[in-house]
């Protein structure tokens, strides 16, 4: 997975990204870069794409929305990667709800949030990767069942997220955040999810 950042001036933002430690891989109408921690991303010209889509109601009636990109960061790159994304976007970086998280404050009108997750054990990862998070409130188990019916697999489940793998093999998480606000009102009950 990679991120497209929509910017007013692609050349100016490319120069900024390079000053901050990114590497350019391709220059075309858009520019493909790699962050200091190794995440591929693109800078594209903003054409007013600022509409946050409405949450989707699934076949079993659960409401959910893809609303967050989570950057999975090896421990030794966490601080530098957070500083890079904050400087590149101009969004303030703050501590997350748990010690392994940091979040960028999303301005109004931006459809996706950014969360950085410090990996305790990066495993075979050599750099930063990313996955999507789906906000589904208290219906996390119902959304998981809908996704399993569509070919996804449950990889793991806990109180704060359910790790899924789509039919193509890409991981993503279901979270108990409210699909309308992106916030968690209180600690959720552990998700009851179907076996896959």
| CATH assignment at residue 28 | 3.10.180.10
Q: Are residues 71 and 109 in the same domain?
A: yes
Q: Could you tell me if residue 193 is inside a domain?
A: no
Contacts 24+ apart (CB under 8 A), 51-59: 51/111, 52/109, 52/110, 52/111, 53/111, 55/135, 55/179, 55/180, 58/142, 58/143, 58/146, 59/146, 59/149
Q: Are residues 17 and 64 in the same domain?
A: no
83/62 Cα distance (integer angstroms): 36
Q: Are residues 142 and 97 in the same domain?
A: yes
Q: Are residues 170 and 140 in the same domain?
A: yes
pLDDT at position 17 is 98
pLDDT at position 109 is 78
pLDDT at position 160 is 85
Residue 143: CB atoms within 10 Å: 26
Q: Are residues 166 and 134 in the same domain?
A: yes
Q: Are residues 161 and 142 in the same domain?
A: yes
What is the number of structural domains in the chain? Answer: 2
Q: Are residues 12 and 80 in the same domain?
A: no
- The two beta strands, 63-73 and 101-104, are unpaired
99/127 Cα distance (integer angstroms): 20
Q: Could you tell me if residue 171 is inside a domain?
A: yes
Residue 188 in contact with residue 159, Cβ under 8 Å? Answer: yes
Q: Are residues 40 and 63 in the same domain?
A: no
pLDDT at position 48 is 79
Q: What angle do CA 4, 18, 8 make, to 5 degrees?
A: 45
**100: Cβ–Cβ under 8 A, 6 or more apart, which residues?**
117, 118, 119, 120
pLDDT at position 159 is 81
95/97 Cα distance (integer angstroms): 7
pLDDT at position 96 is 83
Average pLDDT along the chain, 196 residues, taken 10 residues at a time: 92 98 96 97 88 86 93 94 97 90 89 91 78 93 93 91 95 92 65 56
Q: Are residues 71 and 144 in the same domain?
A: yes
Q: Could you tell me if residue 126 is inside a domain?
A: yes
Residue with tokens 């001036």: 9
Q: Are residues 83 and 155 in the same domain?
A: yes
pLDDT at position 82 is 97
Q: Which domain holds residue 25?
A: 3-45
Residue 171: CB atoms within 10 Å: 18
Q: What are phi and psi of 66, to 5 degrees?
A: -75, 115
Q: Could you tell me if residue 184 is inside a domain?
A: no
pLDDT at position 118 is 94
Q: Are residues 86 and 156 in the same domain?
A: yes
């Amino acid at each position: 997975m990679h991120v497209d950042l929509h910017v007013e001036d692609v050349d100016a933002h490319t120069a900024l990204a390079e000053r901050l430690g990114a590497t350019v891989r391709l220059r075309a109408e858009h520019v493909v870069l790699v962050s200091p921690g190794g995440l591929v991303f693109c800078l594209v010209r903003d054409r007013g794409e600022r509409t946050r889509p409405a949450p989707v109601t699934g076949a079993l009636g659960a409401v959910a929305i893809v609303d967050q990109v989570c950057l999975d960061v090896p421990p030794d790159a966490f601080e530098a990667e957070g500083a890079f994304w904050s400087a590149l976007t101009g969004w303030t970086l703050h501590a997350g709800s748990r010690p392994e998280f940091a979040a960028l404050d999303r301005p109004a009108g931006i459809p996706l949030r950014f969360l950085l997750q410090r990996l305790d054990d990066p495993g075979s990862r050599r750099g930063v990767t990313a996955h999507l998070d789906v906000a589904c409130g208290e219906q996390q188990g119902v959304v998981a069942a809908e996704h399993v019916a569509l070919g996804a697999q449950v990889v793991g489940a806990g109180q704060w997220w359910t790790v899924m793998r789509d039919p193509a093999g890409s991981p993503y998480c279901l979270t108990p955040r409210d699909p309308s606000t992106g916030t968690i009102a209180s600690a959720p009950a552990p998700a009851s999810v179907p076996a896959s």
